[in-house]
Amino acid sequence: MKQNLGVLLFYIACLVSLIFIVIGTVLDDMLLLATGSLFIVCAALIKAEFNLHVLFWRKI
């Protein structure tokens, strides 16, 4: 997989997981919370498998 595509998939998985967790919290839905948590795991696996060097914040 190309580096740019891997980074894009990583950020999409993180964004989807955040949306699912927020909606699951608001609606008190355990299925959405579990799905959001699994998307976080998928994002971590994508990052580890393709050796992506993604920063979550800028170093000072």
Map out the domains of the chain as residue ranges: 3-49
Angle between helices 3-27 and 30-49 (to 10 degrees): 160
Question: What per-residue confidence (pLDDT) applies to 58?
Answer: 60
Query: Which pTM value belongs to this model?
Result: 0.77
Contacts 24+ apart (CB under 8 A), 11-19: 11/54, 13/39, 13/40, 13/42, 13/43, 13/46, 14/39, 14/40, 14/43, 17/42, 17/43
Q: At CA 43, angle to CA 42 and CA 49, rounded to 5? A: 85
Instruction: List pLDDT tens digits, range 26-50.
Output: 999 999 999 999 999 988 888 888 8
Question: What per-residue confidence (pLDDT) applies to 8?
Answer: 86
